[in-house]
Each structure stands twice: as C-alpha cells, then as structure tokens.
Structure 1
Amino acid sequence: MNYVNILNKLENIKSYIESGILELYVLGDLNADERSEVEAMSKLHSEVRDELEQIEIDLGNIAESLQVMPSDNVREGFFNSIKFSDEEIINPIASKQEAKVVSITQKPTNFYKYAFAASLALLVVSIIALVNVNNSLNNTKQQIIALQSSNQNFANRVNYLNQEVTKTTSALDIYSNTDYKMVKLDGTDNAKGAKIMVAFNSKMQKVGLDMKSMNMPKNDSEHQYQLWALVDGKPVDLGVFDMDGNQIGFKEMKNIGQAQTFAVTLEPRGGSVNPTLEKLMVIGNI
C-alpha cells in the first residue's frame, strides 16, 4: 500500500469518527443496520474502537457528575429488592461487566432526555414570563395614557376656572366703577320676562353686556341677537351675541361715546345693517 492510499484510509477513518455516528451508537440511537456497521468498523479499525471506548468513558463521567445520590433508606430498599439469578451468582464478573455496559449507555441517554425536558420547561417558563412582562408593560402604558389625559383635563379645568375668575373680577370692577352707568333692558311682547343689563361708560366709550344676569330665550344656529344704540333717533350697530346660560362676566361690545337708548333685536346670524323691529326683544332708556 503506497502512502497515498494510507493517507486516504486515515482520512476516511477520521471523517467516519467525526461524523457523530459513534456518539449515537453509545447513546443507543441507531437502528440495527447502523449498529452492525459501527461494530464492524470497530473490529476492523483500532482507531474506531479506541474512540468508542473514550466516548463511553466521557459520557459515563458526565452522567456520574450529574447524578443525585439516593438517601440511605432508598438505597437500602433498592438493594433489598434485588434478586440475583443462579447465573449471576456463578459468574458475578460477567454480570458486573454487563451492568457496567448498561450503566454507561443508559445514564447518558437519561441525561440527555432530562436535559431536553429541562430546556423545554425553561423555554415555556421564559415565554410565560415574557407574556406577563408584555401585559404589564401594556397596562402601564394604558395607566400612563389615562394619567396624562386626567392631567390634561385637570389643566383645562384650572384654565377655565382662571378665566371665570378673571371675568368675575372684571364684572365687579365695572359694577364698582362710578364711570359706568348700568342700563336695564326689559322684554317686549316678543320676549316677555326677558332682561339684559348694559354697562355704558361714555368717558371711555365702552359698552358691555352682563352675561351672568342676562335672561333671554336661547337663539338657534341660524340667528343671533344684535345690540343697537339709538343716537339722536338713529340706530347704531354695537355687535351680535349668542345666549348661553353658562357665560359669566361682561361681554365687550362695539364702542360708542353717546346714546339715549339701547335695544336688542333677533337677526340672521352675522347681524343686519338695520334692525328688524318686528323682532325687537328688549329695550331700555339711559
């Protein structure tokens, strides 16, 4: 045999050993034909035989390092339950060798089974933990969103109250200011019982409506109330407004320096150039 053939032979044996079939043989995971093939190779090649023996030793060491020693009571009960046959008594060496082979092949097999079961259990536990963490994060996000919404609502409420306080303070200032003349407008036949209080400051040419004390029928979306001032018998537009019972404070209207009478009519939304006298709602003289 030349050197090339020798090298090829060694290379084939090395590839056979590294294929993993020897480990499967020791673990008992081969069928009958495959086991026969391994046994034939071990008889033909000492390298295969030596590798099998080393695998058995290594797996046996791993199994022994992971085994759990039973208590004295368990061990004693186990040995008391064992019954030896006559053959085992006559040839204890052979029995011991057979037991050794079984222990070498069985322990590693059990080890891998237990390791796989433990890995599977760990995977399941990890998935459950991840699901729980994800649910917890979602709940936390929802709580944060709810808290942010609550904070925004609270901020809006505080802002609204601040505006209401400002309007109330402004109304008190107007009522206490002697430069303002309060003119009461009473309802006509078109709005019996209606009333509006107009604050008029001729020096500053300011006109305002007391929205808190206002008592007017609620207007629809197509109409608005329009305030007029009669100056030397001529109507002057002072602006439009809506009746909203939730308003407080004074609503500032258009400026005017003099007037003898104030009146309110119901006009199309946006107001009219001239008042619709048929829709006169309230009127009052200064």
Structure 2
Amino acid sequence: MNIQAYIESGILEEYVLGTVSSQEKQEVECMSHIYPEIKEELMRTESALEQYALKHQTPPPASLKETLFAQMNFDEVTEEPESAELTSAEPTLVQADDNIKKLPVENDLIAETQPVSAQEVYADMTTANGGATVIYPSWAKFAVAASILFAILFGWSALQMSGVKKQNEQYAADMDMLKSDMDAMKKEAQYKEALASLYRNPNHKVVRMAGLEKSPESVVAAIWDVKTNDVLLDVQNLPAAPAGKQYQLWTIVDGKPVDMGVLDQEFSNKVLKMKQANPGAVAFAITLEKTGGSPSPTMEDMFVMGKV
C-alpha cells in the first residue's frame, strides 16, 4: 500500500472534520492502527484543528451574566387589594383558620398534621372579581427564571455551534489551500532537483542561448548529451508565443540551419525533449515561426542563440 498517497488523499482531514461516511471512518481507524505513519499524521491533523479552534474561539460577552441576572426579580410581587375587598376577605380567612384548628383527631395521621395558617390559605387563593390578587411561591419564580436562563444559554450555545461549524468549514478550505500549495512546492522542488542532476551530469554539454535584439531578456539552455546526442531544453525566460505562432529550435551544422523541432506552447517549469542533434553542430538558436514549425528559420524573428 502507498501510505503517502493515502495520507495525501485528504481522507484524514475529512475524518477529523467528521465528514466521512461510517465505512470510511472505520477504514481510517483501522489503517491508523496498522500503520504508525497514518496514526501520526492523524494526530497531527487533530492537533492542528484543535489549535485552530482555540485560536479562533469566540468567548461569551463579559456582560452576559450581569445582563441576565439584572433582568431577573426574585422578590415576591403582589398587588395590594383594595381596602374594601381585603376587609371582606379577612374574616373568611380567619374563619377558615379556626375551622382547620377544630378538626377532630381521628387517627395518628391527622394528629400529626400541622394546622394551616390563614396567611398560607390566603397565599393559595384567588378571588373571582377583577381585583384578584395572586401570590406565587418562590420556587415557581425560580423555575421560571431557570427556564429563561436555560433558553438564553441554549440559544447562545446554538450560535456558538454555528460559529464553530463555519470555522471548521474555513479550516477545511485553508487545509485544502495549504495542501495545494504544498503539492506545488513539492513538484517545484522535484523539478529543480531533476534539473540540477542534468546540469551536474559530466556527459552533458550545456549550451547557454542568450537573448538577441528581438528579446534581450530571454535565456534558454540546451542540455546536450554528447554520448546519445539527445537534447533537452530548459526555458528559463522566454515570452509566451502569440496566437498562431510557435517557437522552433535550430542547430547550425556546416553553416546551415537544421530543424530540431518545435517547443511546446506551455514550456514554463518544464524540461522539453527535442530532436537529436548532429555531432557537428556548432550553435543552437530559437526562432518564432508559424504554428507547427517552418522548413527554414525566420532570421528576423530569432530570439536566442548560443555557440557550442
């Protein structure tokens, strides 16, 4: 199994973000137990996500607690009844209190029952007229306050979870971008390493073609294998060919130009393989020709040239 390819597939990042299927989740967990490299990369990804979440977390406002408790009133709020109604109600309450105290004791259960005061009876009564007075017990008010507090905290948690989800999505996008950048850097490093090995090869003769009056800033190197006569081109700086045009490589043999093939339209960061060179070649040059090449070079459109 290609462990590095599995790591670079992106499934570990998806596993950490919780976007994989149940089958993929089991697969990742199984692979992390089998291969230490996968487990190490998984732990590194989880740590990176945790650090990202901690870095971008949004704490609740410092004033939230004070605002909540400022809106809560735990004192019993009662509406004072009109004097006439209170006067008419008091005898009834007193009479009810006296009746309760006069209940006969028929058994032990009733004997242990404490008498109920008129104030307690009055606290549970509501009058039917428009001037009704309602007194709620303290535990009910605490329950209402707790419910309000729970609802606010639940809403705040939902808002935070939404923010975390957006942060995770941003983190996934950042991870994809980072992975893309790392892949590009890896390819560029591989290209430079391969190119350096070509330049260091003692069997290769490097012919540097400098820019001419047509394009002074242009630079192209021809890497000529003197044993096989294979020729590679390292295009270091050359303007993009206009529409309908294409660059063409030439060698000079016995004072005559010899076609070495056309360059790819996309030649940046590439090593182009051209036709084999004649052992008697004394110079290399590149001209701009029509797409597909020309049987003879257009001298006024010569961009670079270099002697062997």
TM-score interval for Structure 1 and Structure 2 normalised by the shorter chain: 0.5 to 0.7
Matches within 5 A, 1:258-273: 258=278, 260=281, 261-267=283-289, 271-273=292-294
- Alignment equivalent of 2:200, drawn from 176, 180, 184: 176
Give the 3 Å change call, closer, same or farther, for CA 116–235 of structure 1 in structure 2: same
- Alignment equivalent of 1:148, drawn from 172, 189, 193: 172
2:261 maps to 237
Distance in 2 of aligned mates of 1:95 and 1:199: 114
Give the 3 Å change call, closer, same or farther, for CA 127–225 of structure 1 in structure 2: farther
The superposition leaves residues 139-187 of structure 1 with CA deviations (integer Å, 9 ceiling, x where unpaired) of 2112222322333233223222222222222122112212211112233
Distance in 2 of aligned mates of 1:108 and 1:201: 109
* 2:263 alignment partner, SS class: strand
Can you give the 5+ residue segments of structure 1 that lack an aligned partner in the other structure? 1-91
Distance in 2 of aligned mates of 1:95 and 1:131: 46
The one-letter code matched in structure 1 to 2:204 is Y
Identical amino acids, percent of aligned pairs: 19
Distance in 2 of aligned mates of 1:194 and 1:106: 99
2:234 maps to 210
**Structure 1 residue runs of 4+, over 6 Å off?**
92-95, 113-116
Distance in 2 of aligned mates of 1:94 and 1:134: 52
Asked if 1 retains the 8 angstrom alpha-carbon contact of 2:233 and 2:272, the reply is yes
The one-letter code matched in structure 2 to 1:263 is A
The offset of 1:199, in angstroms, is 0.6
Q: Does 1:137 align with 2:158?
A: no
The offset of 1:134, in angstroms, is 1.1
1:104 maps to 121
Asked if 2 retains the 8 angstrom alpha-carbon contact of 1:183 and 1:197, the reply is yes
Distance in 2 of aligned mates of 1:189 and 1:95: 116
The superposition leaves residues 41-67 of structure 1 with CA deviations (integer Å, 9 ceiling, x where unpaired) of xxxxxxxxxxxxxxxxxxxxxxxxxxx
Matches within 5 A, 1:33-44: none
Give the 3 Å change call, closer, same or farther, for CA 236–171 of structure 1 in structure 2: closer
The offset of 1:200, in angstroms, is 1.3
* 2:160 alignment partner, SS class: helix
Could you say which structure has the higher helix fraction? 1
* 1:164 alignment partner, SS class: helix
Asked if 1 retains the 8 angstrom alpha-carbon contact of 2:251 and 2:277, the reply is no
Give the 3 Å change call, closer, same or farther, for CA 111–226 of structure 1 in structure 2: farther
* 1:240 alignment partner, SS class: coil
* 1:158 alignment partner, SS class: helix
1:226 maps to 248
The offset of 1:195, in angstroms, is 2.9
Distance in 2 of aligned mates of 1:173 and 1:155: 27
The offset of 1:115, in angstroms, is 6.9
The one-letter code matched in structure 1 to 2:94 is K
Distance in 2 of aligned mates of 1:94 and 1:143: 66
Give the 3 Å change call, closer, same or farther, for CA 184–114 of structure 1 in structure 2: same
- Alignment equivalent of 2:274, drawn from 245, 248, 254: 254
**What RMSD in Å do the two structures reach over aligned CA positions?**
3.8
The offset of 1:257, in angstroms, is 4.5
The offset of 1:258, in angstroms, is 2.7
TM-score (norm 1): 0.52
Distance in 2 of aligned mates of 1:226 and 1:257: 14
The offset of 1:281, in angstroms, is 0.7
Distance in 2 of aligned mates of 1:194 and 1:166: 24
The one-letter code matched in structure 1 to 2:284 is F
The offset of 1:137, in angstroms, is 0.8
Distance in 2 of aligned mates of 1:279 and 1:112: 99
Distance in 1 of aligned mates of 2:154 and 2:123: 36
TM-score (norm 2): 0.49
- Alignment equivalent of 1:121, drawn from 145, 155, 158: 145
1:68 maps to none
Distance in 2 of aligned mates of 1:186 and 1:94: 117
The offset of 1:221, in angstroms, is 5.8
The one-letter code matched in structure 1 to 2:167 is Q
Distance in 1 of aligned mates of 2:229 and 2:144: 87
Give the 3 Å change call, closer, same or farther, for CA 231–238 of structure 1 in structure 2: farther
The one-letter code matched in structure 1 to 2:248 is Q
